[in-house]
Structure 1
């Protein structure tokens, strides 16, 4: 199968065309459940899932400059930011390549309101030709300009994220193999960081080791910079800085790494810079370990999200105010559905659903 992007000129561990066909069928299954004739994707994680187009994903996420139209009973069309069809050659799930009429402000300025009419007209033509009279179009993420133009053409817009998130949630066996390839790269990056860690280096310098390993081994990017040391570790969510790590510091990080084949490795680690942890550091680490191991042990297919929340490790009062926002969440091409809330937060913020075979879950602490 043809590869594009970071892993080109290497041998994939699975048939990528099998992965591509599975993912497209997942989308179409969810489209049928919501009775939509078309699915319009601008979120670059979703376009990757639909057709495995990899070029310039980060740049294209800044603007509405690449999208994919998926017909329930017709073609899949990639609208790209420029006329470079060689970037999507030999992808079996892609039927047609077009250049997107640039209606976003950077590309069109004040002409966008006119250019968007051309784009909406092309989507309408596809819906008419392949929708069987069904005017329901699911859209994942689109500006008011684009949405207004599509509605002006008589199309009924439906929320598309519920299609993409639930489709992506269940992985094929081949996807699991690709996720393991991403995690192998992530673990290699973590090992590189561990070997480099010493008093006096900056948090940024340590974090750079993860980036270097990921890029060198065919990974793609890292979503955050969540690494902090010493007094910066709690409360959580500070990103890495020019602070110099000191001997005896507790160091914590969350990889959020998009590795080979576009799959996310969401792995957290906590280390001591130096040989010995204090008794208090050991106590805190032990509580986190206890929480994660317990929560892993209760998971099984068929459980409701509420049941998971009820059976998970009860957080002691001393840690409750700084609890993580998510108890357990899905992971695939990025952090994704489901997002299971702590029991304390379930009534106010949670939603229910069922754990399914093939879901990949990240257990937080």
Structure 2
């Protein structure tokens, strides 16, 4: 990707909502839709049906109750490689397309999930499949194959009865320069939320109260939702993956979090930091854990280069001491865009799938350090852009370097 190594330096300091350069968002929309179409042509698939609300947002920049429609498949789109975009919208929601410059035909969705169709689900799925098949015959008459991002068995069977075979449709790896500016806007909002948490943190407040400060700042500044509630304190930091609760935090214990925040324009900011409650000096044991997490994170960031395979990276990555290995994080790094995305890179011992790093990828480098029988743990995560020269941080919130 030309010029990508200098992109970060050229980004505005605060690409927050209202501050995007004129025309940039429309260029992002055009890039994403055309990238979907290029991938279809490359795969020799005439069209894709998208149900995942994040994929719909990626292709069309339309959004409608994303969390609800993520559980209830009641809106979907059909994108042709060389043909129209057709949006199938939930009841009386055609207006969500009004301010989006996508040339699309809008139809009413055929909803065949049990909530909407009850015992008529199979018959509704047949109606849905007939409409998809008719559109395929109209716009790609020689083709009987289609990509789908996700589909329940009833729908897969209904398409099969129409003589249509289905291939998997998931790919959002490389980011354009304009897309990176929009992602930075989400990160800026997230880091304002982290700063609010940092200033609000005090002994005696609950984990949930602290987490609410991140939500508040995100919504206030045009963000959308947060995928998890990963904030824990004290003994709940080990093992990791405990969501925030009513526990009252005590002075001097560790508090760690993972933002998983979908900010303005639908892009994700996925950042982890660990502090002490009350921002007091850590104990020697807390410093030991933090130093190991910091070393893992920065060693692995320095290692990744375009052209390196995932397996080679995993093999050369920071050697985790045995005392931490059982409680390790689920991956060394993962892709990031509108949400977490391909790739997810496993530890070498876990034998994950292989692939290759490319310039233009946006990644999150992960670390969790906690002794197998320990009392506390440290979670760190940095969001980066992979350039021709290596990883450039996109998230810039400070680490506790005075603990090292």
Q: 1:284 aligns with which of 280, 286, 289?
A: 289
Q: How far apart, in 1, do the equivalents of 2:343 and 2:81 lie?
A: 25
Task: Tell me which residue corresponds to 1:100.
Answer: 109
Offset of residue 121 of structure 1: 1.5
Q: 1:190 aligns with which of 183, 194, 198?
A: 194
| Aligned-CA RMSD value | 1.3
Task: Tell me which residue corresponds to 2:233.
Answer: 229
Q: Does 1:244 align with 2:248?
A: yes
Task: Tell me which residue corresponds to 2:60.
Answer: 51
Q: Per the alignment, in what secondary structure is the counterpart of residue 213 of structure 1?
A: helix
Task: Tell me which residue corresponds to 2:354.
Answer: 352
**Taking structure 1 as reference, are residues 248 and 90 closer, same or farther at Cα in structure 2, changes over 3 Å only?**
closer
Which has the larger helix fraction? 1
Q: 1:203 aligns with which of 200, 203, 207?
A: 207
Q: Per the alignment, in what secondary structure is the counterpart of residue 349 of structure 2?
A: helix
* Residues 121-178 of structure 1, C-alpha deviations (whole Å, 9 max, x = no match): 2111111111241111111111122111111111111122xxx23xx11000011001
Q: Per the alignment, in what secondary structure is the counterpart of residue 292 of structure 1?
A: helix
**Taking structure 1 as reference, are residues 294 and 226 closer, same or farther at Cα in structure 2, changes over 3 Å only?**
same
The answer to which of 112-121 and 51-60 deviates more is 112-121
TM-score normalised per structure 1:
0.93
Task: Tell me which residue corresponds to 1:272.
Answer: 276
Q: Per the alignment, in what secondary structure is the counterpart of residue 251 of structure 1?
A: strand
Q: 2:346 aligns with which of 330, 341, 346?
A: 341
Q: How far apart, in 1, do the equivalents of 2:41 and 2:250 lie?
A: 56
How many residue pairs match? The answer is 349
Q: How far apart, in 2, do the equivalents of 1:10 and 1:291 lie?
A: 37
Q: Per the alignment, in what secondary structure is the counterpart of residue 132 of structure 2?
A: helix
Offset of residue 361 of structure 1: 0.7
Offset of residue 73 of structure 1: 1.1
Task: Tell me which residue corresponds to 1:72.
Answer: 81
Equivalent positions of 1:142-161 (< 5 A) are 142-160=151-169
The answer to which of 246-255 and 124-133 deviates more is 124-133
Task: Tell me which residue corresponds to 1:214.
Answer: 218
Task: Tell me which residue corresponds to 1:323.
Answer: 328
| Consecutive aligned runs of 4 or more in structure 1 exceeding 3 Å deviation | 9-14
Task: Tell me which residue corresponds to 1:307.
Answer: 312
Asked if structure 2 preserves the Cα contact closer than 8 Å seen for 1:51 and 1:94, the reply is: no
* Residues 188-234 of structure 1, C-alpha deviations (whole Å, 9 max, x = no match): 00011011111100000000000001000000000000000001100
Task: Tell me which residue corresponds to 1:169.
Answer: 173
Q: How far apart, in 2, do the equivalents of 1:341 and 1:199 lie?
A: 36
Q: Per the alignment, in what secondary structure is the counterpart of residue 118 of structure 1?
A: helix
Q: What residue ranges of structure 1 are gaps of 5+ in the alignment?
A: 1-8
Asked if structure 2 preserves the Cα contact closer than 8 Å seen for 1:35 and 1:136, the reply is: no
TM-score normalised per structure 2:
0.84
